[in-house]
Amino acid sequence: MNLHDRYLNGEYKAVYNDIYKLKDQALNIEYKKEVEQVLIETFERVAFNLQIIYRELLNIGYAFNLDATVNFEKAIHKPLKDTELLLGQLDLAVQPFGFVPLSLKYFYRIVGGVNFVWNFEAKKQLMWDMADPIQVASLDSLVDEVMHEYWKEDIQLYVDDVNFGCAFLYLSADEFHKDNVSGGEAYAIEITKEKSIDARFMNEANQTTFVDYLRICFENCGFPGMSKETDDKNYQMFVDKIKPQLKMI
């Protein structure tokens, strides 16, 4: 079986591990079509899962910003009409540092955007503390950031810093800021020096890749911070209802 067939057969992690082992060969003509099929299937599943979680959160009264007019504030939105144009602008902006991983590009092409952060203006009391709800910045907001006149200069400081040593794109607030308290460095995806399928998801507790971070999110129904043992009955009821409906990635 090829990579895509194996993925459909349930070898989710194994397939990605094999793709990572291929390194730049994964983009060669021999594997490119299979890898693209895996990415498409993966992010169609991501989009499906987010819709399932979103609808149930609405049902149980989760506080979203339902009046949001800008994409990065919306709980969930479909791919933007000018996605390819924006991705081109993003590629051009990061070119001095490297490449945008394909995993992020396919997220924007197929999923769009997600922001399950609690809306404190609607309700002051959190439903679940330190739940670290899934959030991935909208593509238009990300492009706005990298087009800022000082972005390259600021990122170069991180590249030169021995504690970082790479460029990156901020995608999400950290777990503390999401709970409206002082926190640390925002979560980010590494800009890789060579073309890549996926990359490190930085500053997040699991210290893994972007795809694996999404996998962990769905294992906890959109709230990776709840992976720690919890006795919250409402959360457990939510998980018991939602998790059987989600597709593995």
Reported as a single tens digit per residue, the pLDDT across 197-244 is 999 999 999 999 999 999 999 999 999 999 766 778 899 999 999 999
Q: What is the DSSP letter of 24?
A: G
* Torsion sign (Cα): 203, 205, 208, 209: negative
Cα distance between residue 93 and residue 149, in whole Å: 11
Mapped onto helix, strand or coil, the DSSP state of residue 126 is coil
CA nearest to 188, candidates 174, 170, 205, 204: 170
Alpha helices in 136-174 (DSSP H): 139-146, 151-160
pLDDT attached to residue 231: 77
pLDDT under 70: residue ranges of the chain: 228-229
- Residues 6 or more apart in contact with residue 138 via CB below 8 angstroms: 70, 71, 72, 74, 77, 80, 112, 113, 115
| Beta-bridge partner residues of 29 | none
Tokens of 201: 């998801």
| pTM, two decimal places | 0.95
Q: Are strands 167-172 and 187-191 parallel, antiparallel or unpaired?
A: antiparallel
Strands, DSSP E only, in the chain? 76-77, 113-115, 135-136, 167-172, 187-191, 200-202, 208-209
First-to-last alpha carbon distance for the chain, in angstroms, is: 18
Output the pLDDT for position 229. 66
The per-residue pLDDT for 163 is 82
pLDDT of residue 23: 87
